[in-house]
Structures are given as structure tokens and as C-alpha cells.
Amino acid sequence: MQPHIYSQQQHNIPQERIDSDALFVIDRLQKAGHIAYLVGGGVRDLLMGLYPKDFDISTSAKPEEVRRLFSNSLLIGRRFRLAHIRFGKKTFEVSTFRAGDTAEDSLILRDNIWGVPEEDVLRRDFTINGLFYDPQYKQVIDYVGGMQDIQHHFLRTIGDANIRFKQDPVRMIRLLKFRARFGFAIDERTWQALLDNYLEITKSSPARVVEELLRMLESGHSLSFFTLLEQTKMLAILMQTFDEECKNIGNKELLSYLHIVDHFHKQHINEKLDRTVLLAALIFPIIEKKLERISFEDVSFTTILKTAESILNPLFHQSFVQFTKRQRFLVEFILIMQQRFDLTLKTSKIRPRLLSHPEKNIALQMLFLRSHNHELLRPLYTQWKEASRGEPHPI
């Protein structure tokens, strides 16, 4: 199939937004006789006028050949073998063009059959993520109609959505992620395929699902993402107890902290709240509801501990998504610390010893979120923030 080629005048990608080290990698691969392009989310973001957070590169060079060309590279992955090239703190993913998914509707387990550029994009998830950019000729290379879909704000799978979701159910979560992030309309067949296949999500790796959920909590669009998860019944599959609470409490109230979390991430592009704080923010409205309070100065330490455990146990042990033991420990710590902070409302006394805990910053981040949800708690946060002065700023 002939791709549609878009010239600089047609696509308007500002070349200066492309990381110079990524351009260097592509240039070196091309000079060594290989085909090499930018691909995926980076090209999509450039076309949407955004600043890409990563620049992935696709090439005809085999992983070992990439390894030999770059002394700063490392080969990773078994299921999906690719090279990482490091420049200081930055890492670029360089993957070899892969052939299409062989098994039509079964899970993909191995994915190391090399192919040509066209095959490589046909195995990607959505048309908007299936574009190449060739910096040498400043051309966008489009085999999948992705350029038009970006222009029309439209989300659709590459190929038959039913098959693509069965092959890799994480794609359904990714669909909701792009819907939440960009507000694009979803193609009717793609949407119907999600509604028909949502139960398949349990066949995917919990670690990959958790990673997508955590990334969404950091994205500035977590509220609409979790609302979509709830509406499509995926939340009930992924985090059953949490979904039940959603029904009890009402999702507007349950997701109230996500609004603040999103506001924070939109305002602070380069800062992220700690992932354990984001998990605590999901759970906090349930605690407030159970204890019927927004501050806990009158609640005993044991009560808050028991309440926290009654929510955390099912969430951490009976859910499809699996969080780590350390995450569980820290979420509990964050919740307990809130009761300690709140005692100041009664005693007016700051206990500096509380601030000597190595993880106190994450507890302060939670207090920051609470103070934005409940104006009443603003002075409390200010007081504790000032008491921690000289320490690294909590947020």
C-alpha cells in the first residue's frame, strides 16, 4: 500500500520541538543505511501542537545493530525486544519494525518478528498513533489515515476493533485514556467493540493496567478517565470494591479529589504528585464518608487505622489491579498522618517530631489536597507547611 505523504507545508510540525538527541539518533541510523523515523505518541503530539514527552524511534536496524551503533544503548525486553539509548536523564526507545499480529484474535504473547514500516504501523493501536515522521525530508508518512483523524479529532483502532481489543485488552484502557486526554470523538465500531469486550481486560497483565491507571492519575485528566472507566463497567472489573463505593457514595463525591489532583497537574506541568498520594486521594472520600467527617481531630488513632484497613484490605487484596506492598504501606501511612495533623485543630500544637519522618512530604501532599477540597483546612495546611520550612518543599 502506498502511504499518504504530508509535506512540511501540509503538516506544519515545528522541527525545533523535536529533541535534538532524537534527531541525532535518527540521523546516525539513516547514515548507517537503515530506515529510521519518529513514530507513535511523539508524532501525534507534534501534529496536535503539543510538546511530546517522549520521542520513540522505529527503524529497520535490528536491536543488535542499534546496540553496536550506540555505545550509550542497552537492549531490553523479551516479549518486545528493543533498544534504549540514554542521553543523561533522557532515554529514547528505538524499536525495530515489526510484522503484523499473527494470531487474529488471541492474546499476543511474543512480538519479535521483524517487518517493514507499513507492517509496523498496522500493529499499532489507534490511527492517531500510527504515523511516522521522517526528519530528513520533513515528511509525515501515513499508512492508516491518522493525519485526517487527528485533524477531525477522531479515535479509531487500526484494523477491526473487536480483533484488536481481544489481541491486547489494554488497548481498551488506552482508548479511554486518549478520549479523556484529548476529548476526541470515538468511532462507533470502536466504541461498540469496547462495550462488547470489556470483560477481556482480566486477561491482560495487571502490571500494565496499573501502569496505565497511575499514568492517568498523573495526567491532569484523571477525573474524566475514571468517570469513563466507571461508565463502561471497567472499574467494576479492575477495582471492584472501589466501584461499589462509587455506587454508594456517588461518583461525583468519590472522585472529588481527582478534580484537585488534575488542577495541580495542569498547573505544574513538570511536577507530579507522588503516586501513593494519588492512590490515597482515590480512597480519601470513602474515609471521610465512613467517619462522616472532613477532619479527624476527634477520631481515635485506632478508629482511623481500622477504617483505613477496612478499605485498603479489599482494594489491595481482592482487586484485579495489584499494587505493591510498599504502596499499601505508604497509603496507610499517609492516611494515619492526616489524623495526626488534624489534632492541631484542637490543641493548636504542632508536633515537630511528626516532621522528622522521612516520608512526611507525601503526607503533607495529601494535606495540601484536603485543604483544597475543604476550605476549613486551609489554615491547618499553612501551619504545617510553615513548620516544615527549611525542608524540601512538600509541593
Q: Site residues (CB under 6 A) for ligand ATP?
A: 40-41, 54, 56, 124-125, 129, 168, 170-171, 174
Distance from C-alpha of 119 to C-alpha of 117, rounded to nearest angstrom: 5
DSSP readout, 80-136? S-EEEEEETTEEEEEEE-BPPPSSSSS-------B--HHHHHHTSSBGGG-EEEETT
Grid coordinates belonging to 108: 499476543
Q: Report whether 232 contacts 198 (CB < 8 A).
A: yes
Element counts in the chain: helices (H) and strands (E): 20, 10
Residue type (1 letter), 370: R
Q: Report whether 336 contacts 304 (CB < 8 A).
A: yes
CB of 231 to Mg ion, least distance (A): 25
Distance from C-alpha of 336 to C-alpha of 185, rounded to nearest angstrom: 42
In the list ligand ATP, Mg ion, none, the entry touching 124 (Cβ below 5 to 8 angstroms by class) is: ligand ATP
Distance from C-alpha of 322 to C-alpha of 162, rounded to nearest angstrom: 26
CB of 390 to ligand ATP, least distance (A): 37
Q: Which stretch binds Mg ion (CB under 5 A): 51-59, 171-179, 266-274, 381-389?
A: 51-59
Give me the residue whose beta carbon is nearest to ligand ATP.
41
Burial group, residue 100, by CB count within 10 angstroms (0-12, 13-18, 19+): middle
CB of 50 to ligand ATP, least distance (A): 9
CB of 4 to ligand ATP, least distance (A): 17
State yes or no: residue 41 binds Mg ion (CB under 5 A).
Answer: yes
Q: Which is nearer to ligand ATP, 95 or 232 (CB)?
A: 95
Q: Which is nearer to ligand ATP, 223 or 308 (CB)?
A: 223
Alpha helical stretches, state H, 198-324? 206-217, 222-231, 234-238, 240-249, 251-254, 256-267, 275-291, 301-317
| Cβ neighbours, 10 Å, residue 175 | 27
State yes or no: residue 91 binds Mg ion (CB under 5 A).
Answer: no
In the list ligand ATP, Mg ion, none, the entry touching 170 (Cβ below 5 to 8 angstroms by class) is: ligand ATP
**What number of chain residues touch Mg ion (CB under 5 A)?**
2
Q: Which is nearer to Mg ion, 184 or 368 (CB)?
A: 184
Q: Which is nearer to Mg ion, 23 or 345 (CB)?
A: 23
In the list Mg ion, ligand ATP, none, the entry touching 275 (Cβ below 5 to 8 angstroms by class) is: none
State yes or no: residue 45 binds Mg ion (CB under 5 A).
Answer: no
CB of 181 to ligand ATP, least distance (A): 8
Q: Which is nearer to Mg ion, 54 or 359 (CB)?
A: 54
In the list ligand ATP, Mg ion, none, the entry touching 125 (Cβ below 5 to 8 angstroms by class) is: ligand ATP
In the list Mg ion, ligand ATP, none, the entry touching 119 (Cβ below 5 to 8 angstroms by class) is: none
Q: Which is nearer to ligand ATP, 55 or 333 (CB)?
A: 55
Q: Which stretch binds Mg ion (CB under 5 A): 11-19, 54-62, 152-160, 217-225?
A: 54-62
Q: Report whether 363 contacts 338 (CB < 8 A).
A: yes
Q: Which is nearer to ligand ATP, 156 or 340 (CB)?
A: 156
Question: Kind of pairing, strands 82-87 and 90-96?
Answer: antiparallel
Q: Among 133, 117, 129, which Cα is nearest to 15's?
A: 133
